[in-house]
Amino acid sequence: MNNNILERVNFLKDEINKHNYLYYVEDNPSISDYDYDMMFKELQKLEAEHPELKTPDSPTQRVGSVSEKFFPHVHKYRLYSLDNTYNYEDLTIWYNKITEEYGKDVELVCELKIDGLAIALTYEQGLFTMGVTRGDGVTGENITPNLKTIKAIPLKLFEDINVEVRGEIYMPKTSFEKLNEENLEKGEKLFANPRNAAAGSIRQLDSTITAKRDLSIFVYSSIFENMPSAPKTHYDGLMYLKKLGFKVNPNIRLCKNVQEAIAYCQEWENKRFELNYATDGVVIKVNNLAIQEELGFTARAPKWATAFKFPPEEAITTVENIEYGVGKTGAITPVAILTPVLLAGSTVARASLHNFDEIRRLDLRIGDKVVIKKAAEIIPKVIKVVEREPNSRRRRFTPPTECPTCHSPLQSPEGEVNLYCLNPKCPSLIKAKIEFWVSKDAMDIDKIGPAIIEQLYDKNLISSAVDLYRLTIDDLMKLDLVKEKSASNMYNSIQKSKNNPLKRLLTALIIRNVGKETSEILANEYGTIERLKEATVEELAAVNGIGEKIAKEIYAFFHDEDNLKMLEDLKTLGVEPPPVEMPKSDTFKGKTFVLTGTLPSMTREEASEIIKAHGGKTASSVSKNTSFVLAGENAGSKLDKAKNLGVIILTEEEFLGMIK
């Protein structure tokens, strides 16, 4: 297999996982939905062509991410993501696959795709008992007190039933504008878009802050428990939710076929701008719930639903200059400086160019008029150059040969498109590494930001991330405008990070090709830094999700004298993560279980914990890669599929016998 393919897959995994974290955890997305989806589709395609590259840490095997600020809660019913389509041809292909099996005209329900925060609401005997964010689809955050402040969420239903309702929390556009105006007056952070504002508001640790924000909800699905008279179609289910007291979007439409669904999408492509809430597409679902159940799910999304995404907004402006930034790995990142232009409700003056290959591909030159776009009001990128006049004398762009900060010669490793500054003393590189160290992805030192790091470095108080742990309160009070209380808060935030989980420290170390997901794999496999230092290349490569190339990078990092000195200094300063609890045994190592039906003496969640405690993993659907199906009463279609594929089927008694 071509090494370039492996490198591309690993790059896509790290990029997608990074943007998952920024979008779902940080509420601070840095790319458009469209660009994310294109990366995701490319990764799916490469994994389909090279199945051996599909690993458990791949974002195609999961839905999203979960914050550590709230109490985690395992969803009783998993919340899936949605596959996306961007043209009517793909939408028709999706529909035709369904009609081939279920007849000519399968009814569809079209709903505007609300750009907000997905949540699950639990009602017992008609009373609201719990509200949880989607998180990664399996585990979310319990934010019940905050949700109770939203008046559109009923605390008591009109009927005493048990139901779980899914919906989207959003902030009206007018409320978003008002909030940003107030924040501007107070000198506080401005939110990027209504979705960002809604997510930031609903996930406040202090629910009184949430209560002051104008949030609302549209509900879009439900799961009724022990209710023989439950609706038989999705549309009837929405109407019933409305009857129970929920807010259902008034623009839903029942369509007889895909042609009517396409007409709905065309109608709302421009009409959506008249609404007082953000929407970036249409969700299209099979109406018949029995057909939904038979169609089932892929690893991450239902087969009976898809999201048609509206084309991203675009604008034309001029490139006034190209500037360069130095990232945490030393990578030089080009950014286009633009003549300010209004795009998707905000003024844009900078746009991402990603790397120098992209500039060459665009044949971009300073002074060119360019098309920029951003979907869902996220950071823009340059799409293309508007046709240049034939006699233009603008010079072709030439990549820099030296670092914009330290002027060291730039290097381009074989097989990579990026240019790197590899001078370990480069001020921009040092500060970028420290900024990443304190970030949410890494050690999560929330009181130390870029401006503080800039001062600490310029005043010679730190020259590396290790030096943060040498700082005293008196040191921090030497910074401009920092008083004793602020200095104390910073100091305490640094001290608190000393006991962070091992996966955070491994992420913060910036080991080449090792991102957040791979760090978690290493932490769970080895448990401590000391065990990891002793691992051979062969042992590392044998870990599921690592591979030989990354194994060599990890081994090299933990056998570099400077790195070992840094780790020793960190340990001396008290930075020592608690050991990761290792599996009780490796009985199920390398084995994948699918759980179905009702087990006699335990819940499926309890069985799943037992599997993980003995080194195994669980999946939501049966495939040829499934090792065992643990089946209880009323097992359904998963059991049938397991029989057809020849997968071993276990009773609870047989399952427990395996670990005794």
Domains and CATH numbers, the chain: 3-53 (1.10.287.610), 82-309 (3.30.470.30), 312-423 (2.40.50.140), 427-499 (1.10.150.20), 502-572 (1.10.150.20), 592-659 (3.40.50.10190)
Listing DSSP states for 70-98 in one string gives: S-EEE-SS------EE-SHHHHHHHHHHH
pLDDT at 376: 46
Pick from 315, 336, 334: nearest CA to 326: 334
pLDDT of 68 strictly over 70: no
Average pLDDT, the chain: 87
Three-state DSSP state, 116 = coil
Give the rounded percent of residues in the chain with a pLDDT score beyond 90.
47
Looking at the DSSP assignment, which residues form a beta bridge with residue 315? 372
Inter-residue contact 64 to 199 (CB < 8 Å)? no
Q: Quick: pLDDT tens for 162-217.
A: 999 999 999 998 888 888 777 766 666 677 678 888 888 887 877 777 878 889 99
> Which of 46-60, 271-285, 388-402 has maximum average pLDDT?
271-285
CA distance 222 to 165: 4
Higher pLDDT among residues 69 and 372, named by residue = 372
Listing DSSP states for 127-165 in one string gives: EEEEEEE-TTSSEEEB-HHHHTT-TTS-SB-SS---EEE
> Which of 147-151, 559-563, 579-583 has maximum average pLDDT?
559-563
Residue 104 appears among annotated catalytic residues: no
Sheet of 253-255, strand order: 84-85, 305-309, 279-286, 108-114, 253-255
pLDDT of 62 strictly over 60: no
Inter-residue contact 106 to 95 (CB < 8 Å)? yes
pLDDT at 109: 98
CA distance 330 to 333: 9
> Which of 83-87, 178-182, 354-358, 412-416 has maximum average pLDDT?
83-87
pLDDT at 56: 67
User: What H or E segment, with its residue span, contains residue 211?
Assistant: helix 207-212
pLDDT at 35: 74
Other CB atoms within 10 Å distance of the CB of residue 523: 22
Q: Which residues have CB under 8 Å from 252's CB, separation 6+?
A: 109, 110, 111, 112, 235, 238
CA distance 44 to 9: 9
Q: Quick: pLDDT tens for 458-512.
A: 999 999 999 999 999 999 999 998 899 999 999 999 999 999 999 999 999 999 8
**Structure confidence at residue 555 as a pLDDT band (50, 70, 90):** very high
Three-state DSSP state, 426 = coil
pLDDT of 24 strictly over 60: no
* Cα angle value 126/130/131 (rounded, 5°): 115
> Which of 207-211, 255-259, 371-375, 522-526 has maximum average pLDDT?
255-259
Q: Quick: pLDDT tens for 579-606.
A: 887 767 788 887 889 998 888 888 888 8
Catalytic residue among 41, 45, 76, 113: 113
Average pLDDT over residues 523-535: 90
**Least confident segment among 67-76, 126-135, 141-150, 399-408:** 67-76
Q: How far is CA 371 from CA 281, 314, 409, in A?
A: 22, 7, 32
**Structure confidence at residue 57 as a pLDDT band (50, 70, 90):** low
Q: What is the pTM of this model?
A: 0.54
Average pLDDT over residues 286-305: 91
pLDDT at 609: 81
Q: How far is CA 96 from CA 99, 211, 287, 289, 304, in A?
A: 5, 46, 15, 18, 12
Q: Is the four-CA dihedral 641, 643, 648, 653 of positive or negative sign?
A: positive
> Which of 152-161, 233-242, 327-336 has maximum average pLDDT?
233-242
Q: How far is CA 165 from CA 67, 118, 258, 315, 397, in A?
A: 22, 11, 27, 39, 54
CA distance 336 to 343: 16
CA distance 147 to 196: 17
Average pLDDT over residues 287-307: 91
